A and B are shown apart, each in its own frame.
Chain A
């Protein structure tokens, strides 16, 4: 395999990982605050259709991404209101959010089917991005750099800031945090909104970073894989980065094996397409085999907090 092909593969892999990474980073913060939002897929789809529509209409991908983030945050507020203010079941509400996002994106995306979109352009000079080797550093979409930055930002926030400490405390013991005087519900609203915005950006990556067209249901379960990744990463941002790239690699394999043909043809393309999902199950199994499977899980994850009533 030539070096340029390897670099091309790496760039594809990093691109394919980015939507999952962004959505999973958001969910990590949500879960650290003690909330389990199963609606990532729905928020990603919402972000994808809004990101597409705004970019297509205005020609400005920066605006598209920003509005996609706001849209993701906005639909996450439905979830937040139901689960945090009305103490609704988090699992059911998350599912409802996914069903909603699926319908919403299908309804508003249908008019964009077949319409071309330009990918998010590199922010570096073309010469740097086209150099066969420097591409690896400068040849990514701005969204990829944004995801790098967010991995660091989330890590720094959770482990180095007082606000991050408070957020972790709320996820660890909501009753105590409340009795000390922290607004459990308020902090969780903030976390859910952040998770929604990140999922919105993650969703917008599909048309703006991967394939510049509208396809119904284009996230294809990536939101659920993001959920599994958070468990895999044991709620640590840096491990999340590694996990997301592993999935990017598997997703990339599907593309390259089909192109490569030969020995890879023994396995049907449908089976290659199943690989990310089977790998997700495999990863969950491996995690659960470990001694301290969920030792790092926030103690209040998924439990409703009712002291406010």
Chain B
């Protein structure tokens, strides 16, 4: 029997919410099959990557830790993508945010006080914003494509990081290890739950998602961002400045990436090291799409991605699945989600049928 696509009169809300879930489920099925074919324990891989982090309560803390950065970054990116502004260099802004916070920490090395952490937070946000300012300026002034500039600057950020930790910022007591001194207590995030490794990142991520949701769904600013992305000419006609919107969303996404960098530096890392870039900035792109660019959707997607991160580490030790396999699972999720998008705008009908009653 032949099938074909037929355009829906309006996008299907049901499909909008069903397809991300279906993409995750289908990734498990296809992933199990593909990894079995190429000689791994496919079913074991899916079990360890997607389920063990949920069933093993020891892993829940890990989830909270791993979910925070892609959630915070993904929340910012999703706002930008709504406006059709493609900041794909959040990884670079995350690094520079972490570096800026580290800079404050190194300056306040011998000090203590409640004010140091907030100052590091501000430095992180400012660092991320400053790093996105160049692409932002180039985009609105010269119409230089932000996709390429933000990404190029990510490679530069890695080099800056290496330069600093191998050079001027190297700890004198590290026995030649490329790393800064460890942050002191006033420079490190407190544990919010006694006896766990959960720090301030997780609650901040939830607050970011809720604020983003309110802004995008209730305020004129959110309306403006969405309109600029959905119909630029209509936005101009309505009196929304495209350039101001582009600047705003780039600074928001850069600032949030920088904040995530600060939270990681002052949290799990506790110092600056060459291993600081953790691909969170790229994972956040998947989080944003899987969350349908909706702040609450991003919340769920962030947790799903964190599960795969934690599960990937589990699978590495339990069934010797190489870590890059997680990247393939994540890419598959994104592919399947994008493939599923077609169902939002089209319905599948039997060839020849036009009434749409046989529609699926």
A binds B: yes
Using Cβ atoms and an 8 Å threshold, which residues of chain A touch B325? 103, 107
Q: Does A296 contact B (CB under 8 A)?
A: no
B324 on interface, CB distance cutoff 8 Å = yes
- Residues of chain B within 8 A (CB-CB) of A88 are 338-339, 341-342
Determine the chain A residues whose CB is within 8 A of the CB of B160 once the complex forms: 270, 274
User: Of A103, A268, A284, which contacts B328 at CB under 8 A?
Assistant: A103
| In the bound complex, CA of A88 to CA of B346 (Å) | 12
B324–A100 touching, CB < 8 Å: no
Are A89 and B338 interface neighbours, CB within 8 A? yes
A24 within 8 A of B: no
**Which residues on B sit within 8 Å (CB–CB) of A107?**
322, 324-325, 327-328
* Residue in B closest to A287 when the chains form the complex, CB atoms: B144
Stretch at the interface among A3-11, A62-70, A224-232: A224-232
Q: Is the CB of A228 within 8 A of B330?
A: no
Q: How far is the CA of A103 from the CA of B334 in the complex (A)?
A: 13
Residues B310-334 near A (CB distance < 8 A): 322-328, 330-332, 334
Known A86-B339, A95-B285; contact A271-B159, beta-carbon cutoff 8 A? yes
Q: State the Cβ distance, B270 to closest chain A Cβ, in Å.
A: 23
Give bound CA distance, A220 to B342, whole Å: 33
Given contacts A102-B327, A224-B151, A278-B152, contact A273 B159 (CB under 8 A): yes
Q: Does B207 sit at the interface, judged by CB under 8 A?
A: no
CB pair A280 B338 closer than 8 Å: no
Chain A residues contacting B166 (CB-CB under 8 Å) are: 270
Closest beta carbon of chain A to B275's beta carbon, Å: 14
The answer to whether B5 touches A309 (Cβ under 8 A) is: yes
- The reply to whether the CB of A281 lies closer than 8 angstroms to some CB of chain B is yes
- 8 Å CB contacts to B: which residues of A80-121? 81-82, 86-89, 91-93, 95-97, 99-100, 102-104, 106-107, 110
In the complex, whether B88 has a CB less than 8 A from a CB of chain A is yes
Answer whether A309 and B324 are a contact pair too, CB < 8 Å, given A221-B151, A284-B148: no
Q: Of B143, B151, B286, which contacts A99 at CB under 8 A?
A: B286
Complexed CA–CA distance, A192 and B137 (Å): 32
Are A103 and B326 within 8 A (Cβ)?
Answer: yes
Among A231, A274, A278, max chain B CB count under 10 A is at A274
Q: Give A98 to B62 CA distance when docked, in angstroms.
A: 27
Question: Is chain B's interface secondary structure helix, strand, loop, or mixed overall?
Answer: helix
- Does the CB pair B152–A92 fall under 8 Å? no
A78 to B328, CA, bound (A): 14
What is the bound-complex CA distance between A252 and B334, given in angstroms?
37
* B282 proximal to A (CB < 8 A): yes
Q: Residue on A with the closest CB to B161? A: A270
Task: Return the chain A residue nearest B157 by Cβ.
Answer: A274
Interface size class of B (residues with CB under 8 A): 35 or more
Please report the C-alpha to C-alpha distance between residue A35 and residue B330 in the assembled complex, in whole angstroms: 24
The minimal Cβ–Cβ distance linking B209 to chain A, given in whole angstroms, is: 21
A264-302 at interface with B (beta carbon < 8 Å): 268, 270-271, 273-274, 277-278, 280-281, 284-285, 288-289, 293
| Cα–Cα, bound, A288→B135 (Å) | 13
Q: Complex formed: what's the CA distance from A270 to B155 in Å?
A: 10
A184 within 8 Å of B by Cβ?
A: no
Which residues of A sit under 8 angstroms from B346, Cβ to Cβ? Answer: 309
Nearest Cβ on chain A to B163's Cβ, whole angstroms:
4
Q: CB within 8 Å of A: which of B130-166?
A: 134, 138, 142-145, 147-149, 151-153, 155-156, 159-160, 162-163, 166
User: Which of B88, B143, B159, B160 counts the most A-chain CB atoms under 10 A from its CB?
Assistant: B159
- A residues within 8 A CB of B5? 309
Q: Are A110 and B324 in contact (CB under 8 A)?
A: yes
A224-B331 in contact (CB<8A): no
Question: Nearest-CB distance from B31 to chain A (Å)?
Answer: 12
> A230 to chain B: closest CB distance in Å?
11
For A94, the closest partner residue in chain B by CB is: B147
**Contact among A82, A104, A285 with B142 in the assembled complex (CB-CB below 8 Å):** A285
Q: Do A284 and B144 touch (CB < 8 A)? A: yes
CA distance A82 to B324 in the complex (A): 23
Residues of chain A within 8 A of B152, CB atoms compared: 221, 224-225, 228, 277-278, 280-281
Which single residue of chain B is at the shortest CB-CB distance from A103? B327
- Within residues 104 to 154 of chain B, which ones have a CB less than 8 A from any CB in chain A? 134, 138, 142-145, 147-149, 151-153
The distance from the CB of A18 to the nearest CB of chain B, in whole angstroms, is 20
A104 touches B159 (CB 8 A): no
By a CB distance below 8 angstroms, the chain B residues around A277 are: 152-153, 155-156
Give 6 A-B contacts (CB < 8 Å), ordered by A residue.
A82-B335, A88-B342, A100-B327, A100-B335, A231-B145, A274-B156
| 20 new A-B contacts at CB < 8 Å, known A224-B151, A231-B145, A271-B163 | A82-B335, A86-B338, A91-B86, A95-B285, A96-B338, A97-B331, A99-B334, A100-B327, A102-B324, A102-B327, A103-B324, A103-B327, A220-B155, A227-B148, A277-B155, A280-B148, A280-B152, A284-B149, A309-B6, A309-B7
Residues of A in contact with B (beta carbons under 8 Å apart):
38, 78, 81-82, 86-89, 91-93, 95-97, 99-100, 102-104, 106-107, 110, 220-221, 224-225, 227-228, 231, 268, 270-271, 273-274, 277-278, 280-281, 284-285, 288-289, 293, 306, 309
